Amino acid sequence: MTGRLAPLRAARAALSLGRRAAGGLAVAAFALTMVSGTAPALAGWLVKKVIDDLTRPGGAPDPGRAVWLGVASAAVAGGGLVVGYAGGLLATRMQNAVTLHVQERLYARINGFAGLHRFEDPAFADRLRLAEDAATDAPAMLAEFTLAVVRSVVGIASFVAVLHAVWPPMNALLAIVAVTAVAVQLTVARRESEMIQANTATQRRQLMYRRLLTDHAVAKEVRVFGLGDFFRVRMLGALRRANQAEAGVRTRAAVLQSGMAAAGAVVAAIGIGVVIARAIRGDVTAGDVTLFLTAVAAVQSATLTIVGQVQAAARSTRLFASYLDVMEAPEAMPDGVGVPGPLRTGIVLEDVWFRYDHSGPWILKGVDLTIPAGRSLGLVGRNGAGKSTIVKLLCRFYDPQRGRILWDGVDLRAYSVADLRRRIATAFQDFQVYDLTIAENIGVGALDRLGDRTAYARAAALAGLDGDVAALPRRYETLLSRAFFHDDAEEAGVSLSGGQNQRLALARTLMREDADLIILDEPSSGLDPQAEHHVYATLGEYRSGRTSVLISHRLGAMRGADLIVVLADGVVVERGTHEELVAGAGVYAGLYALQAASYREDSPAHAVPGGPR
Ligand SMILES: Nc1ncnc2c1ncn2[C@@H]1O[C@H](COP(=O)(O)OP(=O)(O)O)[C@@H](O)[C@H]1O
Ligand SMILES: [Mg+2]
């Protein structure tokens, strides 16, 4: 968000958000704050009365009245404090309500991003990080600002009359200092928010290094390669850069603020000098002098509060713009409206061209491919050939730049993304293991059957994981986390092995029994031969009659596929059944010969360079 009016718009948006989230609390907090704001002035006025009574020339003071006034002033001051605390309590509750509301909306919005583009854009990551902080801060900050300003203005207003009565020019002098200070703080706030924005990327880097130094999954490599200091130095470097940027801005701010403080002191000194001189001349009473001193101190402290609040509010308003940016970010990948029906004829990729970035290399350069309904397709190709990219396009994380993907003859773009994904079950190559129980890790594959014991046990059995689970004391209730305890005991969870994790991810996908299309991206790369054999045997049964795509380097596993497609240089170079392709002289036959050779003992693939022959 740019332009001069942007901060004002952001402030309005933040306040209206605060009103929606915690309007009632805000009004109540306001009222209490107003009441407590007038207390000091009232107490000061009562004290003046006492002093005037005691020092009135000639007349003997009425002791009862003086005591009563003194007690009343103490009571008013104390009562004001109590009301102030109550207001503060309400303000905290309001702040919590606002934070909850904002986070709720922000994360709903993030969940609304259907594609992956935004999650791969560093500038967006910066904004997102700021948005999170600003979302938590700004509305509460602005509410606090409004409250503090109201409180201070009420306080100032009650003293302005006093100052005017005692020495009229004092108000003007104080106003000049206040206005200048506000202007200075607005500049400081602008520089601060610019610095915070510029520092975000550095901070994210620092957090990344911090994670590398503390994460359980990274700890092994960091130790075996001795990377600890390497990452620590980089982390500290990022922190130093951020500190330097901050120190520069803060130093300049401190110089400006000190100047303002000095100006305030000079004005106070002038006023006090004048009033004391007038008291000596007998123009004003001793009580007036006390009241004047109290008033000057109170007005200056209230001004200081306002000025400080202006700076904080202006800064968080500017940062709140990041939140608006995220909330109002246009949809990078427009959603369709159609609901795809059960797959009847098949999925067709028609001259599909795709690259991840506008300036990046083409990954797919005109892929033509048909996945017939009810058939199993095997996808083969070297690392980086674009197999996983095709998976991502089928799930519609991106749209092809050219060409189309058709589901029963209709472009995927015409369908609602959520409805399309409901029909697809995918096991990604880079699957995720969540810090949840095994039951939940599998169950999240079909949220509507999350707690369904039969469903997750069946999926685990299909994936060949049931035996492994049975060996664990807590079985399906085992927590897969070394970072958290089980809910019911201070007992850490466990980590599974790589191959077990892979079967876990497979089981999760198999929870989607009713999926029309099942996609398995290298589901067996980490499995031992026995597990692999089991998985492919059960998967073979499971896939028969279902539409499925299997990506694997184990060409033996491809035998069962109805059709195999070989991808190279961004296009389909071969297609056929396993037998047809092996019989040919193409890429597949070459790969197959190589794999077969690697199992023969005397093969050159097994020879150790320089070793015994
Ligand atoms: N998110 C991404 N952003 C940019 N490039 C990517 C991304 N994902 C993959 N690529 C690139 O696309 C190419 C194909 O990757 P991929 O489809 O994962 O290959 P594979 O056939 O091994 O599954 C690779 O060169 C990879 O570097
Ligand atoms: Mg891949």
pLDDT for the residue numbered 602:
55
* Ligand 1, pocket-test mutation among 119, 363, 395, 428, most atoms within 8 A of CB: 363
Q: Tell me: the pLDDT tens digits for 171-189?
A: 888 888 888 888 888 888 8
Residue bearing the CA closest to ligand 1, atom 8? 389
Question: What are the DSSP E strand ranges found in 382-516?
Answer: 402-407, 410-411, 424-427
Share of the chain above pLDDT 90, in %: 37
* Ligand 1, pocket-test mutation among 118, 353, 388, most atoms within 8 A of CB: 388
Q: How far is CA 423 from CA 332, 395, 445, in A?
A: 23, 10, 12
Mean of the pLDDT values across residues 487-505?
88
610: exposed, middle or buried (C-beta count within 10 Å: 0-12, 13-18, 19+)? Answer: exposed
Distance from the CA of 384 to the center of ligand 1, in angstroms?
6
Of residues 413 and 560, more confidence is placed in 413
Q: Is the pLDDT of residue 3 over 70?
A: no
The torsion of the CA quartet 113, 119, 123, 128, rounded to 10 degrees, works out to 60
Helix (H), strand (E), coil (C) string for 363-393:
CEEEEEEEEECCCEEEEEECCCCCHHHHHHH
CB neighbours (10 Å) of residue 338? 15
Residue 522's closest CA among 543, 550, 503, 497?
A: 550
Mean of the pLDDT values across residues 526-552?
84
Mean of the pLDDT values across residues 441-452?
93
Ligand approaching nearest to the C-alpha of 521 = 2
Question: Residue 5: pLDDT band by 50, 70, 90 thresholds?
Answer: low
90: exposed, middle or buried (C-beta count within 10 Å: 0-12, 13-18, 19+)? Answer: buried
What angle (nearest 5°) sits at the alpha carbon of residue 11, between those of residues 10 and 17?
Answer: 90
Q: Mean of the per-residue pLDDT values for the chain?
A: 87
Q: Which residues surround ligand 2, an ion (CB under 5 A)?
A: 387-388, 429
Question: Residue 613: pLDDT band by 50, 70, 90 thresholds?
Answer: very low
Q: Tell me: the pLDDT tens digits for 33-56?
A: 778 878 888 888 888 888 888 887
Ligand approaching nearest to the C-alpha of 398 = 1
Q: Is the pLDDT of residue 599 over 80?
A: no
pLDDT for the residue numbered 606:
45
DSSP class per residue in 193-259 = HHHHHHHHHHHHHHHHHHHHHH-HHHHHHHHHTT-HHHHHHHHHHHHHHHHHHHHHHHHHHHHHHHH
Q: Which segments of 444-496 does DSSP mark as H helices, in order?
A: 453-462, 466-470
pLDDT for the residue numbered 307:
85
Question: In terms of DSSP bridges, do strands 424-427 and 517-521 run parallel, antiparallel, or are they unpaired?
Answer: parallel
Q: Is the pLDDT of residue 30 over 90?
A: no
- Give helix then strand counts, H and E, for the chain: 16, 10
- Among the atoms of ligand 1, which is closest to the Cα of residue 429? 23
Mean of the pLDDT values across residues 49-76?
82
pLDDT for the residue numbered 475:
93
List domains and CATH numbers for the chain: 6-328 (1.20.1560.10), 424-515 (3.40.50.300)
Residues having CB closer than 6 A to ligand 1 are 120, 356, 363, 381, 383-389
Mean of the pLDDT values across residues 378-391?
93
pLDDT for the residue numbered 95:
80
Q: Is the pLDDT of residue 396 over 80?
A: yes
Most confident of 139-153, 201-215, 281-295, 542-556: 201-215
Residue type, 62: D
pLDDT for the residue numbered 299:
85
Residue bearing the CA closest to ligand 1, atom 2? 356
pLDDT for the residue numbered 601:
55
